[in-house]
Chain A
Amino acid sequence: DIQMTQSPSSLSASVGDRVDLSCRASQNIARYLNWYQQKPGKAPKLLIYAASNLQSGVPSRFSGSGSGTHFTLTISSLQAEDFATYYCQQGLMTLSFGGGTKVE
């Protein structure tokens, strides 16, 4: 099984901040990595697929980078609506998620 580890588990930020969220895979997953945003009481929403591709309709302040075992989700200028929990998910084999990073 491929284990996904996100860090930090939570972080405190302010509107306008640049935020970098980390996700590591226990083995090489190439670019089979997606990012999701989840707000309380809502289903997750796809932000980034294949490590760096912006899903249609997602603001350009979100970007993804990385390949292999280390990936980063960057929010270039945090907006009020971006306070949420973010999950990475690997899709190389059967799916698995990281534990999430809460941006507060």
Chain B
Amino acid sequence: QVQLQESGPRLVKPPQTLSLTCTVSGASISTDSHYWNWIRQPAGKGLEWIGRIYTSGKTDYNPSLKSRVTMSIDTSNNEFSLRLTSVTAADTAVYYCARVTEDSTGWYESLDFWGQGILVTVSS
């Protein structure tokens, strides 16, 4: 069974950098039919896609966060990471990592496995 687990500091001071890692088990991170995502959810609010990273290292980011986000992938340890710089209280949220997979046609993709989420609070 595929499992994803977020880890990292749960409290970050502004305007420092938020750093999280997602460790994947039960599947290799080095597959062309998947890519790896970060999504966040402020308390009581909806889901916000942060960005994605492919095995090749190619990334795409949400335009609203692009200037502050960096993602990386470590295939040897089967994990990928998120860095968000210059954080403010508005970055307080539950952060999820999730896998996108293709369907049998190869045309359609969906977020099929998610981590449990980690609450990161930005406060001095």
Residues of A within 8 A of B (CB): 1, 31-32, 34, 36, 38, 42-46, 49-50, 53, 55, 87, 89, 91, 94-100
Contacts and interface: CB of A to CB of B under 8 A. Distances in A.
Contacts of B26: none
B108 A46 contact: no
8 contacts: A1-B63, A32-B108, A43-B116, A43-B117, A50-B110, A55-B110, A89-B47, A91-B109
Interface in B74-124: 96, 98, 100, 103, 107-112, 114-117
- Nearest first, the 8 closest Cβ-Cβ pairs linking A and B are A43-B114, A50-B108, A49-B110, A95-B49, A97-B47, A34-B110, A99-B46, A100-B46
Nearest to A9: B46
B47 A91 contact: no
Contacts, number: 64
Contacts of A87: 46-47
Nearest to B51: A94
Given A53-B103, A94-B60, A95-B52, A44 B47 contact: yes
A1 B66 CA distance: 13
A50 B46 contact: no
A55 B112 CA distance: 9
Nearest to B37: A95
Interface of B: 37, 46-49, 52, 60-63, 96, 98, 100, 103, 107-112, 114-117
Contact of A46 (B46, B49, B62, B111): B111
Contacts of B109: 32, 49, 91
Contacts of A94: 49, 52, 60-63
Given A43-B114, A43-B115, A96 B108 contact: no
B111 A36 contact: yes
Contact of B108 (A36, A43, A91): A91
